[in-house]
A and B are shown apart, each in its own frame.
Chain A
Amino acid sequence: MKVNELAQKLDMKILTGNETLFKDITGVYVCDLLSWVMSHAEKGNAWITIHTHLNIVAVALLTEVSCVIIPENLAVEENTIKKAEEEGIVILSSSLSAYELCYRIHELLA
């Protein structure tokens, strides 16, 4: 499934990364410890995190995740949005919790 399809099916807001919305999603990774994410997230994963600061862009770039999903409508900092746009990182925003996102995405990817 492509990132844009997932965004549409789960009614998520696309905050950044219009030109990289067509990446394939290979699975989901949920974690807020950045070092742990870097060593365990896999290329193409959709990464769910409650962090909204600038360094999620660096971690997304280094791990080559397909998108970052911010749950529960958390506000994303302006400089994070700007940096993600510059680097072509997709950030999606959802009203669902991380658990609900995992459950729904699992159903969609199954």
Chain B
Amino acid sequence: MSDSIINLSYNIPANDFTFAGEASSNVKKMLSQLGINPMVIKRAAIAMYEAEINAVIHGGGGIADIQISPEKIFICIKDEGPGIPDVEVAMQEGYSTAPEYIREMGFGAGMGLPNIKRYADELQIDTEVGKGTTVKITININ
């Protein structure tokens, strides 16, 4: 892997499950091509997928920006949705505000943010009610 930083950017459409997971699948492929450790790839892909799905379900869509450097994978998912009133509560496993039809699809079990935390080396959530949420995930490569 070269020393250069790779930047990737994806649009995440709102409430459109047709493309949900597309960005994380593409990032996973890119990381595989770079020869990164499969466990690191799995952690990055799952954390990103959860954040992507959150943006689809709750955030009215958003933007995913990814930076891959030799040391780390940085994933930033930004939406302009309703924001999270209480991040501490949202981080609790099993807590969910997803509507019934989302739950019927197998999402909305209140595991998204806890899963991201579990797989990320660093997680930062910047959120403001009425303005949106930015989820910043760092996965160390080594």
Which secondary structure dominates where chain B touches chain A? helix
Whether B111 lies near A62 (C-beta < 8 A) is no
Among B68-76, B81-89, B101-109, the one that faces the other chain is B101-109
Total interface residues in chain B, CB < 8 Å: 23
Which secondary structure dominates where chain A touches chain B? helix
Q: Which residues of A contact B18 (CB under 8 A)?
A: 54, 79
User: Which single member of A37, A51, A59, A79 contacts B21 (CB below 8 Å)?
Assistant: A59
Q: Given A53-B17, A54-B17, A58-B24, do A38 and B46 touch, yes or no (CB 8 Å)?
A: yes
Whether B109 lies near A38 (C-beta < 8 A) is no
The answer to the question of B77 belonging to the interface, with a C-beta cut-off of 8 Å to chain A, is: no
The answer to the question of A18 belonging to the interface, with a C-beta cut-off of 8 Å to chain B, is: no
In this complex, the member of B28, B45, B106, B115 whose beta carbon has the largest number of chain A beta carbons within 10 angstroms is: B106
User: Which single member of B22, B45, B50 contacts A35 (CB below 8 Å)?
Assistant: B50
Interface residues on A, range: 20 to 34
User: Which single member of A43, A51, A79 contacts B106 (CB below 8 Å)?
Assistant: A51
Q: How far is the CB of B15 from chain A (nearest CB, A)?
A: 13
Q: Which residues of B contact A38 (CB under 8 A)?
A: 46, 49-50, 115
Whether B21 lies near A39 (C-beta < 8 A) is no
The answer for the CA separation of A36 and B50 in the assembled complex, in Å, is 11
Q: How does the 8 Å CB contact mask read for B19-59 relative to A, with 1 for contact and 0 for none?
A: 01110110010000000001000100110011000000000
The chain A residue with its CB closest to the CB of B112 is A35
Q: How far is the CB of B63 from chain A (nearest CB, A)?
A: 19
Whether A35 lies near B105 (C-beta < 8 A) is no
Whether A33 lies near B20 (C-beta < 8 A) is no
The answer for the CA separation of A55 and B25 in the assembled complex, in Å, is 11
The chain A residue with its CB closest to the CB of B113 is A35
Q: How far is the CB of A20 from chain B (nearest CB, A)?
A: 15
Q: How does the 8 Å CB contact mask read for A48-87 relative to B, with 1 for contact and 0 for none?
A: 0101011101110111100000000000000100000001
**Which of A's residues lie within 8 Å of B, judged by CB?**
32-39, 43, 49, 51, 53-55, 57-59, 61-64, 79, 87
A-B contact pairs, 8 of them (CB 8 A): A33-B111, A35-B109, A37-B106, A38-B115, A53-B17, A55-B105, A58-B22, A61-B28
